[in-house]
Amino acid sequence: MPPTKKRAQRVRSYDSAKTRAAVSAQFGHVRDALRALPPEALDGPTRLGTWTVRELAGHLAWMVGSVPELLAAPEPAARELALLDWPSATASAAGRIDERTREVPTDDLAGLYERTAAAYATAVAAAPDTRLLPVSFGAMTLADFLVTRTVELVVHTDDLSAATGVEIPYDRQALAACTRLLADTLAARAPGGSVEVRIPPYAVVQCVEGPRHTRGTPPNVVETDPLTWIRLATGRAEWAAELDAARVSASGERADLAGLLPLMG
């Protein structure tokens, strides 16, 4: 028999104008939340190892500030890193990310956030989507890199909320882009069509090798909300615990994603 062809992974497109605005909007939500915190709250712990709230705030400023910094650097000769490869690449840089985060000057967080927001807005205003950036993991287009900034912002907004007890708003487009990138990463890591993963209202993907569903109700279905999905995909939540809490529903003998998660830490 001829070899079975592997189904090609569909590459999702993102509206760059919406992504650019989403990064700015979510960074603004974080800025507003930090402004409202009492000074002593900045020295409180987070769920990110030994990082304090202040260090987490510095990390977020760096994540957005990296956009104008990279746009100011010489453009690489060729693209090297695809968007769906980014979640895996970050795992290898945990130590360097921690070191760089602790170097961010956070004595004046209000000023840092104002300067970062202004630099970001100015830098992206005239930059084309196809502009290559010398990201440490490999050259990426500006359009792709901005999608990764929504992941950083949304994931760490959740970390900041967990650390401070403050309910911080999520920009709808930022939450959508983050959810979709992590869902597509799952589909790329475990290609197939036997399990349908639903994360309404933002994403539906099929994954896991096995009999492919073609019509009617799929035999293997996983469904959850965006924030629960993001926490599972980034190791902030455990599959079994979310099932027990009914924040995830999973039906079918193949609808167990525990062995595929997390996708990034």
**CATH of the domain spanning 16-170, picked from 1.10.760.10, 1.20.120.450, 1.20.200.10, 3.40.50.720:** 1.20.120.450
Task: Give the pairing type, strands 221-224 and 195-199.
Answer: parallel
Tell if the pTM clears 0.85, that is, is over it: yes
Return the SS3 of 12: coil
CATH 3.30.1050.40 location in the chain: 177-260
Distance CA 226, CA 244 (A): 17
140 DSSP β-pair partners: 133
221 DSSP β-pair partners: 196, 251
CA angle 199, 13, 142 (to 5 degrees): 115
Residue 97 · residue 109 · CB < 8 Å: no
Evaluate the CA torsion angle 127, 129, 132, 134 in order and state its sign: positive
Q: Which fold has domain 177-260?
A: Nonspecific Lipid-transfer Protein; Chain A (3.30.1050)
Return the SS3 of 161: helix
Q: What is the pLDDT along the chain (265 residues), one digit of tens a residue?
A: 333 344 445 679 999 999 999 999 999 999 999 999 999 999 999 999 999 999 999 999 999 999 999 999 999 999 889 999 999 998 788 889 999 999 999 999 999 999 999 999 999 999 999 999 999 889 999 999 999 999 999 999 999 999 999 999 999 999 999 999 999 999 999 999 999 999 999 999 999 998 766 666 678 999 999 999 999 999 999 999 999 999 999 999 999 999 999 999 7
